[in-house]
């Protein structure tokens, strides 16, 4: 069992937890994810890692209560326990393979959308720890939904944009990126993490601007070990499994339309389970 040391609601329906998981904390790197089970009967939930502390043996997760299992997770408090925390899974970010000199030569921009802001944090923090500057654009529907702002300010040059203009710049992340570009910022590496539709349109723009772009894919996952095929995607015309070949891929080669259609397949069943969990 894995003890929850802290549990907070960051904003409406988005929950942050610090969990005791020393073996995961000792090995994980930015870009990787976990699969958790709330209880013995629970479905597996893939969650990106928001932060980790090797000395304390803890990992931090952020989840939006959008389905039956994440709803159950959101009800847990400090002192409760998770049945399983499996990880780290997937490959670390490519940035972890570059030397500090190589990283310093790059002008990196991260595009973080909604809950996808959480997995961007360990990457920006990793760069800061290695003395590398980066820009981060956080996009949220409204001011209330911006998360982790203070922590990001400590590790990057932060640009916030809200769809309704209630905070920071006005408009979606693609507009903020175009505006920053028009203001003279030249990026040669982009990492986009958020809803698939956001990643699709960020990639469309970065292709026009000529910025190589990495995306973090989060399709439905079951085993997380490459055996079940649930998380398959088409990248560069080839079948790839997000859990073992990713979750990060070259965004200009991902078939987003196919990935989004596959996500829809599970909506009805998940919706039924979610309603049942809330009864």
Cβ nearer to ligand FES, comparing 146 with 235 = 235
Size of the site for ligand NAD (CB under 6 A): 21
Q: Which does 163 bind (CB under 5 to 8 A by kind): ligand FES, ligand NAD, none?
A: ligand NAD
For residue 49, count other CB atoms closer than 10 A to its CB.
Answer: 27
Residue 161 and residue 139 in contact, taking contact as beta carbons nearer than 8 Å: yes
The Cα–Cα gap between 112 and 31 comes to 13
How many angstroms separate the first and last alpha carbons of the chain?
A: 26
Q: Interface residues for ligand FES in 240-269 (CB under 6 A)?
A: 241, 243
Nearest Cα residue to 156 out of 113, 107, 196: 107
Q: Does 113 interact with ligand FES (rule: CB under 6 A)? A: no
234 burial (CB, 10 Å; 0-12 / 13-18 / 19+) is: middle
Q: Compute the least distance from the CB of residue 201 to ligand FES, in Å.
A: 25
- Window of 145-153, 183-191, 228-236, 265-273 that interacts with ligand FES by CB under 6 A: 228-236
Q: Interface residues for ligand FES in 197-226 (CB under 6 A)?
A: 221-224, 226
Residue 123 and residue 93 in contact, taking contact as beta carbons nearer than 8 Å: yes
Q: How far is CA 95 from CA 108, 110, 133, 195, 249, in A?
A: 10, 12, 13, 22, 12
Judged by CB under 6 A, which of 27, 102, 229, 275 binds ligand FES? 229
Q: Compute the least distance from the CB of residue 244 to ligand FES, in Å.
A: 6
DSSP for residue 254: B
The Cα–Cα gap between 279 and 274 comes to 9
Q: Does 230 interact with ligand FES (rule: CB under 6 A)? A: yes
Residue 187 and residue 214 in contact, taking contact as beta carbons nearer than 8 Å: no
Q: Does 82 interact with ligand FES (rule: CB under 6 A)? A: no
Q: Compute the least distance from the CB of residue 118 to ligand NAD, in Å.
A: 7
Q: Which does 95 bind (CB under 5 to 8 A by kind): ligand NAD, ligand FES, none?
A: none
Q: Which does 218 bind (CB under 5 to 8 A by kind): ligand FES, ligand NAD, none?
A: ligand NAD
Cβ nearer to ligand NAD, comparing 8 with 81 = 8
Q: Does 34 interact with ligand FES (rule: CB under 6 A)? A: no
Q: Interface residues for ligand NAD in 122-181 (CB under 6 A)?
A: 139-141, 163, 172-174
Nearest Cα residue to 129 out of 95, 89, 88: 95
Q: What does the block give as tokens for 278?
A: 């809330």
Judged by CB under 6 A, which of 30, 87, 119, 246 binds ligand NAD? 119
Report which secondary-structure segment, H or E, holds 104. helix 100-105
The Cα–Cα gap between 101 and 30 comes to 19
- Window of 149-157, 196-204, 229-237, 253-261 that interacts with ligand NAD by CB under 6 A: 196-204
The Cα–Cα gap between 61 and 119 comes to 9
Q: Which residues bind ligand NAD (CB under 6 A)?
A: 48, 113-116, 119, 139-141, 163, 172-174, 193-195, 197-198, 201, 216, 218
Q: Which residues bind ligand FES (CB under 6 A)?
A: 221-224, 226-231, 241, 243
């Amino acid at each position: 069992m894995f003890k929850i040391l802290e549990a907070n609601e960051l904003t409406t329906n988005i929950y942050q937890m610090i969990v005791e998981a020393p073996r995961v904390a000792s090995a994980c790197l930015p870009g990787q994810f976990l699969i958790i089970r709330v209880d013995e009967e629970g479905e597996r939930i893939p969650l990106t890692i928001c932060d980790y502390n090797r000395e304390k043996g803890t990992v931090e997760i952020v989840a939006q209560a959008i389905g039956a299992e994440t709803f159950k997770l959101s009800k847990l408090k400090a002192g409760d326990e998770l049945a399983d925390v499996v990880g780290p899974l997937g490959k670390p970010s490519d940035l972890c393979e570059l030397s500090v000199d190589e990283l310093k030569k790059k002008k990196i921009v991260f595009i973080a959308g909604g809950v996808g802001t959480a997995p961007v944090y360990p990457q920006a923090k990793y760069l800061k720890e290695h003395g590398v500057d980066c820009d981060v654009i956080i996009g949220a529907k409204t001011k209330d939904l911006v998360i982790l702002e203070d922590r990001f300010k400590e590790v990057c040059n932060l640009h916030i944009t809200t769809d309704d203009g209630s905070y920071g710049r006005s408009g979606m992340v693609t507009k903020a990126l175009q505006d920053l570009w028009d203001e003279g910022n030249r990026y040669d590496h982009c990492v986009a993490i958020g809803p698939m539709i956001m990643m699709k349109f960020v990639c469309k723009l970065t292709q026009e601007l000529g910025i190589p772009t990495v995306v973090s894919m989060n399709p439905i996952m079951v085993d997380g070990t490459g055996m079940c095929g649930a998380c398959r995607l088409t990248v560069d015309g080839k079948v790839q499994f997000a859990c073992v070949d990713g979750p990060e891929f070259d965004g200009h080669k991902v078939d987003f339309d196919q990935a989004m259609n596959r996500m829809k397949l599970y909506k009805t069943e998940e919706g039924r389970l979610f309603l049942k969990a809330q009864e």
